[in-house]
Structure 1
Amino acid sequence: MRLSTVLCSALVASLVTCLAATSAGFAQTAKGAASASDNRYFTGLGDILGDLPVDAFIRESMDGGKVVSTVLDVCYSASITSERKDRFAIELKPDGKALTGTGQTTEEKLPVSISLTRKPENRAITFEGKITIGDKTSEVLSTDNTESDQREFDAAQAIDDNTADMPADFTELSPQSLAVKVKRENFADLLKSLRNDNVELTLDSLTTDCAALRNGTQFVRFDVDPQRAEALIARLKGLPGVVAAGWTTGSYETERAIRLPAAPWHKDGKLDRERIATALSASISKIMSAQPAGAKWSDTTGELTLTFKRPNTLVPALNLTDTLELSVLVGPDKPGTTERLVVWLGVPASITRDEAPGPHLNFADTSPGDDEAVYTDDDGLVRSVAADLKGQRWDADQAAWK
């Protein structure tokens, strides 16, 4: 009987301790939940700086259903026609419905003064007031703003740079197209260092966009001879401020590619440019019913430009000539040592000239747009070259070479 009493007392004590611990745990969880902040965003702010192109949002940080801070983040163009951007991100102090704040822009260091009112209207928010940057004041009237949560905002802000430092193959990325992510303070020095690397820069990647102003990094994109790409990536990774470097997407389509065994097209450990150019020229001239008129390799991008000529048949008596150009990229099917080459064929372009002796007729440039085909049997061209070179084509449905 005494033993039972002791056991019962022990069980009761344990139960009390357990309940106390559980209550403390619930209290701690509730406290943690109450203190956890939550962000909501208003991104459709409209023309808050007049006619200037703007990318702006308001972030409200919540705690227990109460707004604890409000930040207006505005990235804008210096003028209507300028690609140069400036930005400010200023915390706004609440006073009833009023929101005010001061600061300066990050690039030109211009003073900024903000005075807004926040008005709930039918499940939406209206922001109204003034923003002064330097000596210019803009009237703000932004209506029908609905909120986004953190997940929705992050998804909208995500940047798909599609860059890899060691891709499995070059079916989606290009062996000649590279991208470097670098801190903004090291951006100019990186560009200067590329002067010695014989690359072809993508001009619009030099523009500092809103994403770069907000995250402090910028992407530089350029093309280079695939034979030099891997060594260049290794060098760039070691430069100050470089966050990442690798291959990215290019201008050639895998559907227009042909995969070949590499060994027959190499000489002394390098691509035998003369041999593959001759083979490609002979194959392409046959299906185009044109005569080879030139083959030129670019030491910068590694591309081959093939030129062909054939009679224009619009007015046979004039003896006009069509000059066709086709760009070709030849590179490995994946980074590193590989037993396969891939030949990417560009889209043929044509220009008609009067090359007869004596006075010439001149023609306006009526080149078709990007969505029009210059060569009527373009898929037949790829098939013919693949057959002549005994290569494989890419099967998009099976995602494999066939």
Structure 2
Amino acid sequence: MRAILLALAVIAAAAPELGWAQSKSGTKAPANETRYFTALDGLMDGNADVILKETRQGKTVTAATLDVCYPVAKNSDRKDRFVVNLTVNGQTLTGATQSNGAKEPVTVKLTRKPTGDNFEFRGQIVIGKTVTEVASTDNADVSEKEFQESQSNDDGITAQPKDFTDVSPEAVSVRLKLDAVPDFLKSLKGEHVEVSLSSLIVSCDALRAGEQTISMTVDPERAGALIAKARATTGVVTAGWTAGTVEMDRTIRFAAADWRDGDKINRDKLANAISDVLAKTYAAKPTSAAWNPVTGKLKLTLKRPSQLMPSLDLTDVIELTGLVSPDKPGGADALILWISSPTTTTVDESSAAKLILSDESSGDEESDARDDSGTIEELAKAFKAKRWDADNSVWK
């Protein structure tokens, strides 16, 4: 009995230490956390787009990946990119890979140093024979959630718009896999389609996503067919309408019946009617009205005697652009008409020696706000049309 009591006493005396040992061995290691740096100041003269991803356990970096997108040459719009998994050795990050496009060898050696709440990176990045010194201070990191929110990229494409109030009837965009872009663009050669030059630039976002958006302008009457053709093309992710020329505050909507010739819009009749209204609004004489066969836009020109200095017999040349389309894809009952703000240029068109004029106030052309105030309202009256109420999102 005494032996049993003695054993119990020994166990009781050891219990606190056993409990401490269990508590110590049961302590959970810090959870893994992913943090991002979305810039390294000054890298490649500030032209590099950088994402450094770190996996941390507490304050210790356990893994890192560096993603750098950069111009292939100084002042070039063409980009190349490399992604390298870095070996972590204390505060040193090293790795080697090759660039995705030019297949140049890449080596990275960086030293990472905490500086308060921010971090400093120093070292070298070598791409081919080009050595870039890294000396970047005051770099702040962001969480996984913050990073993902900053990466959301809406290309604005609406595949099936209910109408043309949020997207423009002539503006078409197609998002494709990168390797499908050249063949798609070649297929547009000889077509009545205007391709945005800026959309040919492969951005860093496109390189990372593996997809590029090509923006085009096309006659609204052919836009639906172009989109259908694009959707049937290999490598196309999505195609549809996007924002473009049409501004709702300069757009009217009216019945289509009087302005159709069979299943086609009677453009000559429309151009004459629009010109008549503008002639009265601007107290000017219509001199030309031409429809662009590629974009479907109407260019209108009017002239009137300039009142700037009547004795000089100068002429105001007023130019506007218009666009007519069904009010929705496949629509037949109603049309919308958008008219741009006018630009007025004053010239000397006399038959004798001419006065050469330059307008230094705002370039060669300027918006004639004085004359424009009633244009859309007068067009609405002439066409018995409705205007867009932006506050309530309705035609009225």
Common topology (TM > 0.5): yes
Q: Distance in 2 between matches of 1:256 and 1:246?
A: 23
Residue 194 of structure 1, CA deviation: 1.1
CA-to-partner distance for each residue in 1:136-175, whole Å, 9 max, x for gaps? 1111111112211122112222222111111111111001
Q: Distance in 1 between matches of 2:35 and 2:365?
A: 42
From the superposition, tell whether residues 36 and 123 of structure 1 become closer, same or farther in structure 2 (CA, over 3 Å): closer
From the superposition, tell whether residues 361 and 369 of structure 1 become closer, same or farther in structure 2 (CA, over 3 Å): closer
Instruction: Name 1:286's counterpart in structure 2.
Output: 280
- Residue 394 of structure 2 corresponds to residue 397 of structure 1: no
From the superposition, tell whether residues 318 and 203 of structure 1 become closer, same or farther in structure 2 (CA, over 3 Å): same
Residue 367 of structure 1, CA deviation: 6.8
Q: Distance in 1 between matches of 2:361 and 2:335?
A: 32
Instruction: Name 2:40's counterpart in structure 1.
Output: 45
Instruction: Name 1:8's counterpart in structure 2.
Output: none
Asked whether the 8 Å contact 2:69–2:82 carries over to 1, the reply is yes
Give ranges in structure 2 of 5+ residues lacking alignment: 1-25
Residue 229 of structure 1, CA deviation: 0.6
Q: Distance in 2 between matches of 1:325 and 1:339?
A: 30
Q: 1:303 aligns with which of 293, 297, 307?
A: 297
Letter in 2 for 1:203: L
Instruction: Name 1:121's counterpart in structure 2.
Output: 115
| Greater mean deviation of Cα atoms: 36-45 or 313-322 | 36-45
From the superposition, tell whether residues 212 and 371 of structure 1 become closer, same or farther in structure 2 (CA, over 3 Å): farther
Letter in 2 for 1:47: G
| Greater mean deviation of Cα atoms: 368-377 or 205-214 | 368-377
CA-to-partner distance for each residue in 1:24-63, whole Å, 9 max, x for gaps? xxxxxx9xx98986421011311112x2511112011346
Q: Distance in 1 between matches of 2:370 and 2:277?
A: 17
From the superposition, tell whether residues 367 and 231 of structure 1 become closer, same or farther in structure 2 (CA, over 3 Å): farther
Letter in 2 for 1:74: V
Percent identity over the alignment? 43
| Greater mean deviation of Cα atoms: 220-229 or 121-130 | 121-130
Q: Distance in 1 between matches of 2:80 and 2:62?
A: 27
Asked whether the 8 Å contact 1:305–1:328 carries over to 2, the reply is yes
Residue 266 of structure 1, CA deviation: 0.5
Alignment of 1:171-186 (within 5 A): 171-186=165-180
CA-to-partner distance for each residue in 1:186-213, whole Å, 9 max, x for gaps? 1110001111431111110001110111
Residue 283 of structure 1, CA deviation: 0.5
Instruction: Name 1:166's counterpart in structure 2.
Output: 160
Letter in 1 for 2:39: G
**Runs of 4+ more than 6 Å apart:** 33-36, 369-372
- Give me the TM-score of the superposition, normalised by structure 2: 0.89
What SS is found at the alignment partner of 2:158? coil
What SS is found at the alignment partner of 2:36? strand
Instruction: Name 1:323's counterpart in structure 2.
Output: 317
Q: Distance in 2 between matches of 1:371 and 1:215?
A: 41
Q: 2:86 aligns with which of 78, 86, 92?
A: 92
Q: Distance in 2 between matches of 1:302 and 1:157?
A: 36
What SS is found at the alignment partner of 2:145? helix
Question: What is the RMSD computed on CA atoms of the aligned residues?
Answer: 2.1
Number of matched residues? Answer: 370
Asked whether the 8 Å contact 1:53–1:80 carries over to 2, the reply is no
Residue 322 of structure 1, CA deviation: 1.1
Give ranges in structure 1 of 5+ residues lacking alignment: 1-29
- Residue 134 of structure 2 corresponds to residue 140 of structure 1: yes
Letter in 2 for 1:378: D
- Give me the TM-score of the superposition, normalised by structure 1: 0.87
Residue 365 of structure 1, CA deviation: 4.7
